[in-house]
Amino acid sequence: MKALTPALLRQSLQKLGYTWHHDGPNLIGIRTALTVPDLFNDLLVCCWQQPAMPPGLGLQQQQEFLASWLYTGKDGKPIRADGVPGPNTTFALAQLAATVGTDRMKTWIITTTPGNFYLHQPLSKLGCAVLVPGQYLDAYQLGLHQNKATHPALVQTGGKVRAYRDNDRDFYAEETKVVEEGLFGINIHRANVAGATPRIANWSAGCQVFQRKSDHDELLLLCGHYRAGCHNCYTYTPIPCCASASWLRRRAFLY
């Protein structure tokens, strides 16, 4: 069984004819084949090429750099930017030295499909939106979900996406023959502020939603590094889970 790696994802996307970014983050949604309704059982993967640390930084600035790129200490916890040397900082610096110039990867539990609330009460007369797998080049930007200052997110303001319209009002988000393209506000955002949200419920009417805010914060932190370089435009590539990656379906139940 193949392990999920940046190389495998790059190969998979390139076989589909999709773009792989070397100068920005590759945001990939993996929709599992699970049919259990209203659960967060998909993945969002971010792959990026790790840049080097700028020279001449003091210890606290080095720690800030390490933390912003999601390096952890020997204890497995995020690096604290307190200016105090120790084994955790030393460990993280060694990890940085070993990964500069290579592709790194981070995965989080999300949903790529809507919850029961909007499946039964769709916002559109055509039915609830289920994002169609594909690649949406530069379709997302750092902004605010529903214009709420307390809810930063990746918002669908840079380009159109395609959505199946599921209108049978059952408990399952399904691919249908009705497909619509447009600016629907299918954002990439978080669920509850605290803890792991147990059910999708009304958190998604088609949006890609993180089960944990802390995970979503990590995604926004990574995207923020590229904001100027990519002109605040990010590509999102949702794909279905293939049979060879069945381990993803098992992993989803670990969270």
Q: Are residues 185 and 78 in the same domain?
A: no
pLDDT at 108 over 90: yes
Q: Are residues 80 and 194 in the same domain?
A: no
Specify if 156 maps to a domain.
yes
Residue-number span of the structural domain to which 108 is assigned: 6-51+103-252
pLDDT at 8 over 70: yes
Q: Are residues 185 and 170 in the same domain?
A: yes
Give the pLDDT of residue 148.
97
pLDDT at 133 over 90: yes
Give the Cβ contact number of residue 141 at 10 Å: 20
Residue 206 DSSP code: S
Residues 6+ apart with CB under 8 A from 212: 108, 109, 190, 191, 195, 196, 197
Give the pLDDT of residue 31.
95
On whether the CB atoms of residues 67 and 78 are closer than 8 A, the answer is: yes
For the record, the structure tokens of 62 come out as: 């080095």
Residue 242's pLDDT band, with cuts at 50, 70 and 90, is low
Q: Are residues 184 and 233 in the same domain?
A: yes
Name the domain count of the chain. Answer: 2
Give the pLDDT of residue 197.
98
| Segment 153-175, tens digit of pLDDT | 999 999 999 999 999 999 999 99
pLDDT at 2 over 90: no
Residue 152's pLDDT band, with cuts at 50, 70 and 90, is very high
Q: Are residues 202 and 93 in the same domain?
A: no
Q: Are residues 129 and 240 in the same domain?
A: yes
Specify if 228 maps to a domain.
yes
Give the Cβ contact number of residue 16 at 10 Å: 12
Residue 72 DSSP code: B
Specify if 1 maps to a domain.
no
Give the Cβ contact number of residue 112 at 10 Å: 26
Count the residues in the chain: 255
On whether the CB atoms of residues 200 and 111 are closer than 8 A, the answer is: yes
Q: Are residues 31 and 91 in the same domain?
A: no
